[in-house]
Chains A and B, each alone.
Chain A
Amino acid sequence: MNIHEYQAKQIFAKYDVPTPKGLMAESVEQAVENAKVLGGPVWVVKAQIHAGGRGLGGGVKLARSIEEVEKLSREILGMTLITHQTGPEGKLVQKLYIEEGADIKDELYLGVVLDRAREMPVIMASTEGGMAIEDVAHDNPEKIIKVAVDPAIGFQGFHGRELVFGLGITNPDEQKKFISFASKLYKLYIENDAEMIEINPLVKTGNGDFLALDGKMGFDDSALGRHPDIEAMRDISEEDADEREATQYGLSYISLDGEIGCMVNGAGLAMGTMDTINYMGGTPANFLDVGGKANAETVAKGFEIILKNPKVKAIFVNIFGGIVRCDRIANGILEATKLVDVHVPVIVRLDGTNAPEAAEILRNANIANVIAATDLADGAAKAVAAAKQAK
């Protein structure tokens, strides 16, 4: 789960990680009010959406008067912001963050993520703040300092020294401030079961203070149960409505651009099914994992969500029943066709536990749109052919 910048900064504040003062606004009036409370003389009006690259997309602007705060807030609030992370459809700006301006001397980068190879969190720092870290990693990998911190020992002095010497921070007072900043950030990463924290830029001010000018945080979904305060920060308007609806039924759904709807059990087989469709010259319309507890209701829901997409010309149901029994899925398909108007061909491949019984059920039902397939290759080929024919 991801949160907004203003929420990340609320968490930073709890851990004494320095940030500029700021206030969230959901209306232009509130934005103006916030600007007055903050005092000025310079403010930054920032779009709050769950995506990076907001500045380049025109969602972060500097204001030098209250009037300008009002004008910019009117412009940004309600706009559809397109950045390299939103996709071409962009994201609607529903919240603003009004922040006091900072005296920026240097822009740095600081982040904490899980290093899967070393199996521990790694702190990443760079003097190349303000740029996309992926680009720095690609063009100047030597400019990223990585310090892995074993949670068994926590953040030690040497971790801090590796960071400041790596960044070329030589002033002892600044060294102390940066090390304190990084150690607090590590602590809040661990204590909140964060998956990722990114501060880009982290700025050094004219006074040699370090400030988190931005803040991006993502959390381990599996750990949200023990962090009700963070779960409460969830902004459902930032999440894809169909993906969210699917989650409520135990389905994992992601929409794609193609024409063949997929309903599969297991994430790996779901991806493999998409790959096979692609390999055979078709295009998958979605990723959909029905999980291990598929029944008539979830299968019907799956059809409903897939069919919301007007591009879908055929559906490929690919189930390898292990614990999931195929006869149950077959009954689910029958139920689903009663509940939902399935107006495209449905290619069904059921293999594994109770597959012969399932084939029998489908044969007896004899539904016009349902086409049986013998295996993965056969099913994918039939789905691709059906989608082509529908054109």
Chain B
Amino acid sequence: MSILVNKETKVIVQGFTGKEGSFHAEQCMAYGTKIVGGVTPNKGGTEHLGQPVFNTVKEAVASTGATVSMIFVPPAFVSDAVMEAADAGIELAVIITEGAPVRDMQAAKAYALKHSMKTIGPNCPGIITAEECKIGIMPGMIFKKGNVGLISKSGTLTYEGANQVCREGFGISTAVGIGGDPIIGLSYKQLLPMFEADPETHAIVMIGEIGGDLEIQAAAYIKEHITKPVVAFIAGQTAPKGKRMGHAGAIVSGGAGTAAEKMAALDAAGVKVVVSPADIGKAVAEVLAKR
């Protein structure tokens, strides 16, 4: 078990033949992901990386039975690609592209919801079920199979967290990089119940950052519904107000969205909150030892 994706999941790539799409599709295939084809308009009927290329997502789905799409198209075309995937009946779109306009993502997400298509990202490392299926750009070798679920807004903190968990002798069930843009797809609140329901997951690591209130919503949800131990870290305790810290969404505005308020809310919900990301692994070991 795991959440959302596993070794049976059939994946297509939108933006398959581009430089980024090609490189990462190949890496995913090497990891064991079932990439069954890709979409590049006007290249339909050809082959790429030993897989068929289609002109449209509809054709790709009809021919391959894919349920997940990994999106690498340039930022200006992301909303079009997401909506095309939703329209074609894709169940989960993983949007890697960075720099998609907020207004486009707003429209794309609204359309995806209407078609019951889940989305992850944009501007994220993707999702990985350890040693089964990697859909994204993360370094696969650091994710050893195990019983810790991980949800993170930050790419490199996902790697940092997973690495520490594995060094402590544990492993990862599924790790999801949800991205740090103002509008994102699946968030803590939707992913937490999936990990709660997954028998393979025994503990959850949640990595957040300043800006927005998704972590606050997560805290309220955890308090009511999550029985598994949760370890959390919120990046940006030392970030100054009003400055955007790299991610489009990571900004403390009008005194709201601070790390302190998020950490307090999580702590009050019974989450083990660490002050330094260097302590994530140790904290996981502690909460799992208590079980």
List residues of A whose CB falls within 8 A of some B CB: 85, 114, 116-117, 119-120, 133-134, 137-138, 150-152, 190, 193, 195, 220-223, 225-226, 252, 254, 256, 264-272, 274-280, 284, 287, 289, 320-323, 351-353, 375-377, 380
Which chain B residues border A375 with CB–CB below 8 Å? 278
User: Within the complex, what minimum Cβ distance (angstroms) separates B142 from chain A?
Assistant: 7
C-alpha spacing A265/B139, complex, angstroms: 14
Could you give, for residues 189-210 of chain B, a 1 whenever the CB lies within 8 Å of some chain A CB and a 0 otherwise?
0000000000000000001011
C-alpha spacing A252/B155, complex, angstroms: 15
Q: Are B213 and A265 in contact (CB under 8 A)?
A: no
B137 within 8 Å of A by Cβ? Answer: yes
Q: Which of B28-36, B82-90, B97-105 contacts A (4 or more CB under 8 A)?
A: B97-105
Q: Are B249 and A254 in contact (CB under 8 A)?
A: no
Q: Are B235 and A120 in contact (CB under 8 A)?
A: no
Q: Are B182 and A114 in contact (CB under 8 A)?
A: yes
Which chain A residues border B139 with CB–CB below 8 Å? 321-323, 352-353
What are 24 contact pairs spanning A and B, CB under 8 A? A117-B212, A151-B103, A151-B106, A193-B103, A220-B101, A220-B102, A221-B248, A222-B248, A223-B101, A254-B245, A266-B156, A268-B157, A268-B180, A268-B247, A270-B245, A272-B276, A279-B275, A320-B163, A323-B139, A352-B142, A353-B139, A376-B278, A377-B278, A377-B279
Which chain A residues border B246 with CB–CB below 8 Å? 252, 266-268, 270-271, 287, 289
**Residues of chain B from 70 to 93 with CB closer than 8 A to chain A in the complex:** 75-76
Number of interface residues of B (CB under 8 A): 59
Which chain B residues border A195 with CB–CB below 8 Å? 102
With A151-B107, A193-B103, A221-B248 in contact, is A268–B152 under 8 Å at CB? yes
Q: Are B107 and A269 in contact (CB under 8 A)?
A: no
With A226-B76, A322-B159 in contact, is A272–B250 under 8 Å at CB? no
**Residues of chain B from 235 to 261 with CB closer than 8 A to chain A in the complex:** 235-240, 242-243, 245-250, 254-255, 259
Q: Are A267 and B213 in contact (CB under 8 A)?
A: no
Q: Are B109 and A119 in contact (CB under 8 A)?
A: yes
Which chain A residues border B239 with CB–CB below 8 Å? 271, 274, 287
Give which listed residue, A151, A269, A278, A284, contacts B154 with CB less than 8 A: A269
B233 within 8 Å of A by Cβ? Answer: yes
User: Within the complex, what minimum Cβ distance (angstroms) separates A158 from chain B?
Assistant: 19
Q: Are B275 and A116 in contact (CB under 8 A)?
A: no
Give which listed residue, B137, B212, B237, B275, contacts A322 with CB less than 8 A: B137
Which residue of the partner chain A has the closest CB to B110? A152
Which residue of the partner chain A has the closest CB to B275? A279
Which residue of the partner chain B has the closest CB to A189? B103
B171 within 8 Å of A by Cβ? Answer: no
With A222-B101, A287-B246, A323-B137 in contact, is A268–B235 under 8 Å at CB? yes
Which chain A residues border B217 with CB–CB below 8 Å? 117
Q: Are B155 and A266 in contact (CB under 8 A)?
A: yes
Which chain A residues border B240 with CB–CB below 8 Å? 254, 256
Mostly, the A contact residues are mixed
B125 within 8 Å of A by Cβ? Answer: yes
Which chain A residues border B106 with CB–CB below 8 Å? 114, 119-120, 151
**Residues of chain B from 8 to 29 with CB closer than 8 A to chain A in the complex:** none
Q: Which of A226, A276, A289, A322 has the most CB of B within 10 A?
A: A322
Give which listed residue, A267, A284, A323, A377, contacts B247 with CB less than 8 A: A267
Which residue of the partner chain A has the closest CB to B217? A117
Which chain B residues border A266 with CB–CB below 8 Å? 154-157, 246
C-alpha spacing A352/B167, complex, angstroms: 12
User: Within the complex, what minimum Cβ distance (angstroms) separates B111 from chain A?
Assistant: 9
B277 within 8 Å of A by Cβ? Answer: yes
B262 within 8 Å of A by Cβ? Answer: no
Which residue of the partner chain A has the closest CB to B102? A220
User: Within the complex, what minimum Cβ distance (angstroms) separates A268 from chain B?
Assistant: 2
C-alpha spacing A221/B247, complex, angstroms: 12
C-alpha spacing A221/B246, complex, angstroms: 12
C-alpha spacing A256/B240, complex, angstroms: 8
C-alpha spacing A137/B255, complex, angstroms: 11
Which residue of the partner chain B has the closest CB to A195? B102
Which chain B residues border A289 with CB–CB below 8 Å? 246
Q: Are B207 and A193 in contact (CB under 8 A)?
A: no
Q: Are A269 and B160 in contact (CB under 8 A)?
A: yes
Which chain B residues border A272 with CB–CB below 8 Å? 154, 157, 160, 233, 235, 276-277
Which chain A residues border B213 with CB–CB below 8 Å? 116-117
User: Within the complex, what minimum Cβ distance (angstroms) separates B237 from chain A?
Assistant: 5
Which chain B residues border A220 with CB–CB below 8 Å? 101-103, 248
Q: Are A85 and B242 in contact (CB under 8 A)?
A: yes
C-alpha spacing A224/B83, complex, angstroms: 22
C-alpha spacing A267/B210, complex, angstroms: 11
Q: Are B254 and A134 in contact (CB under 8 A)?
A: yes
Which chain B residues border A284 with CB–CB below 8 Å? 238
